[in-house]
Amino acid sequence: MVDLTRESFVASCLYFSHVNTHQEETALNWKQTFVDVKRQYEYCYKRLMDATTISQLESKLWIVDELIKLDIRPKRVALIGGWFANFIVQLLIDKLDVEFVHNFEIDEDARNISYKYNKRYKELGKYQCSIKDVMIKTVEGDYDIVINTSCEHMFPMTGFYEQSPKIDAVYVLQSTDDEQYVDHINCVGSPEELAEQAHIIDILYSGTKVLNNGMNRFMVIGYPA
Ligand SMILES: C[S@@+](CC[C@H](N)C(=O)[O-])C[C@H]1O[C@@H](n2cnc3c(N)ncnc32)[C@H](O)[C@@H]1O
């Protein structure tokens, strides 16, 4: 029995209107994720619902839309703090022909649950999640894009560049000025402040979106100094 909040049900339906391939298999993976998390990770269930909202979907679709407009077609994506990676992985694979997404997370529950959502892509070798604090350990490997939609949750990106200086990629960063959550430890006031904090000097895109839940979301795409 699947027990979703109204918001998560609507967000899931909207998501499936954007998924172009393997809808049935993905739907079954998602259904099983909801069932398994309720049984095995009850303490994560509210977070799962928080990650499955219209606002979460909007912010991930925004990335894909802007990359398409910029004609940026990455093959290998490093995802920083990608959480359950529920929306982003298949959107990148379906809409941008991305070949591999590597999520770097500090939370083992997030990794295990992300593998349930993305069962198909894990089995195909297109999705992997590694446990790593990217602010204190090096990210190895070649990636042509680094996506961090969790900037408000961690130290400024300069800490990442120091740990992983060999990564030569375009960066997609999102943050917010919404300070009401205790784990929002690094909010910024604008996309300009996000770019300045992350030392993004070659700015390809900079913008603000007011999400469905009223949150201001900032996004910067570009290359660091
Ligand atoms: C709440 S979630 C993501 C929320 C974000 N607004 C989004 O839409 O994607 C933040 C994630 O960042 C991860 N995280 C925080 N600091 C990290 C770090 N230094 N390295 C890797 N992951 C990190 C957390 O474990 C968590 O899963």
The tens digit of pLDDT for each residue in 142-158 reads: 999 999 999 999 999 99
The tens digit of pLDDT for each residue in 126-144 reads: 999 999 999 999 999 999 9
Protein residue with its CA nearest to atom 24 in ligand 1: 81
Q: What is the pTM of this model?
A: 0.97
The residues, ordered by sequence, that sit 6+ positions from 168 with a Cβ below 8 Å of its Cβ are: none
Instruction: Kindly state the percentage of the chain with pLDDT values over 90.
Output: 98
The tens digit of pLDDT for each residue in 23-75 reads: 999 999 999 999 999 999 999 999 999 999 999 999 999 999 999 999 999 99
Domains, the chain, with CATH or none: 59-224 (3.40.50.150)
Question: What number does the ligand 1 atom closest to the CA of 47 have?
Answer: 1
The tens digit of pLDDT for each residue in 110-127 reads: 999 999 999 999 999 999
| Cβ atoms 127, 101 nearer than 8 A | yes
pLDDT at residue 3, as a whole number: 83
The tens digit of pLDDT for each residue in 184-197 reads: 999 999 999 999 99
Question: What number does the ligand 1 atom closest to the CA of 83 have?
Answer: 27
Q: How far is the CA of 130 from the centre of ligand 1 (A)?
A: 13
pLDDT at residue 105, as a whole number: 98
Residue among 15, 58, 87, 106 to mutate when testing ligand 1 (max atoms within 8 A of CB): 106
Instruction: Kindly state the percentage of the chain with pLDDT values over 70.
Output: 100
Ligand 1 pocket, residue 217 CB under 6 Å: no
Ligand 1 pocket, residue 78 CB under 6 Å: no
Report the pLDDT averaged over residues 74-93: 97
pLDDT at residue 1, as a whole number: 73
Ligand 1 pocket, residue 107 CB under 6 Å: yes
pLDDT at residue 174, as a whole number: 98
Q: Is the pLDDT of residue 20 over 90?
A: no
Protein residue with its CA nearest to atom 9 in ligand 1: 149
> Please, which pLDDT band fits residue 2 given cuts at 50, 70 and 90?
confident
Average pLDDT, the chain: 97
Read out DSSP for 19-88? Answer: --S-HHHHHHHHHHHHHHHHHH-GGGHHHHHHHSSHHHHHHHHHHHHHHHHTT---SEEEEES-TT-TTH
